[in-house]
Amino acid sequence: MKQIVFTVTNDLNNDRRMHRICGSLCNAGYSVTLVGRNLKNSKPIHPRKFEQLRLTCFFNNGKLFYIEYNLRLFFYLLFKKTDIICAIDLDTIAACAIAGKIRHKKLVYDAHEYFTEVPEVMHRPVVQNIWIWVERTFVPKMDACYTVSHSLAELYEQKYGKKFFLIMNVPPLKHYDEEQKQDPDKFILYQGALNKGRGLEILIESMKQLPLRLLIAGEGDLSSALRQQVAEQSLENKVVFLGMLSPEELEILTPKAFLGYNLLENLGKSYYYSLSNKFFDYIHACVPGLSNPFPEYESINNKYDVGYLTNLSVAEIVLSVEKALSDTIRYEGIRLNCKAAREILNWETEEKKLIQIYNDIR
């Protein structure tokens, strides 16, 4: 039985993409270990069919964290019995590549985003140049690579002359209980990190003009600032912060939403070429989404008509929501389109490609 180690920097519990990947490969006959880190507020690891391990660090952010984590990960990988090592994004690739080369193990790179152009990196030239060096140094050493969108795959292929396969961040197909109706008290749902570039400040501003509620599920760097904005604008009766919800809780909540929010600021190629998991979560729950006319969202929406494409501004958000509220025939048509699209855009389709990638590694 071949063994695979996957490496991330989160605490494992809410990483649904990695749960799907690891679970699918376990079902395909691989022995899988997922390595993450222990955070101060980490809850106990949920038992799964694959092995899970957390590394504990003294530092929890900044360059000292990345250095410490990669050192700890390197020594772990140096002695861990495995055949394949997979780095998830650039923040673990150095430890994976060096340990893998020393031990003559196969190396895989899973790019969840265009790491050198995420907002946290783009406007810090020294930091960005370090990550660019990391990418140029280690990505060419990988034996197989895959990413989350066609655009990112093409970008990486042009840059490194390596094949990047596409494994979209889609949920498994589930036929939701047809009796589970939308909440009669209509609300917009945002699920995900409360971080820079997610357009949440503008969404909250839009709520002044909209006759429905906003539910925000998640936490992040902007948690305090967004709550303060809601208080300052006296929107407490319209904007509700739910905090971190488990995947199981989101699965119950999402189908009840009227619209799903998935707008981003164009802060670089990582966001511009993104294809987020929440976009597909809304589709699977038959909830029309609000998304940018960025290449990936536009391409899928042109093909399946699963939501409303709008630019990130108060005026355009309000206009799109009002259209959804007033044109009930089109709105219900979009919901039916979501129902049809999820039969194609699902993990059962993607996992076949994923397993083939690993089966082809020799």
- 114 Rama sector, left if φ>0, alpha if ψ -120 to 50, beta otherwise: beta
Distance CA 93, CA 89 (A): 7
Contact 121, 196 (CB under 8 A): no
Residue 179 has pLDDT above 60, yes or no: no
Per-residue pLDDT tens over the stretch 136-158: 999 999 999 999 999 999 999 99
- CA 259 distance to own-chain centroid: 19
pLDDT in tens, 281-306: 999 999 999 999 999 999 999 999 99
Handedness of CA 242, 91, 59, 129 (dihedral sign): negative
pLDDT of res. 180: 58
Residue 178, pLDDT score: 53
pLDDT reported for residue 362? 86
In this predicted structure, the answer to whether residue 307 has a pLDDT above a threshold of 80 is yes
The phi, psi pair for 71, rounded to 5°, reads: -65, -45
Residue 174 has pLDDT above 90, yes or no: no
Model pLDDT, residue 177? 58
**Residue 66 has which token pair?**
């990345």
Q: Cβ atoms within 10 A of the Cβ of 124, count?
A: 11
- How would you classify the pairing of strands 164-166 and 239-243? unpaired
Domains (range + CATH), the chain: 3-170+346-359 (3.40.50.2000), 187-341 (3.40.50.2000)
| Percent of all residues in the chain with a pLDDT value above 70, rounded to a whole number | 98
- Rounded mean pLDDT, 67-88: 97
For residues 196 and 120, give the distance between their C-alpha atoms in angstroms, rounded to a whole number: 8
Evaluate if residue 38 carries a pLDDT over 60: yes
Distance of alpha carbon 198 from alpha carbon 278, whole angstroms: 12
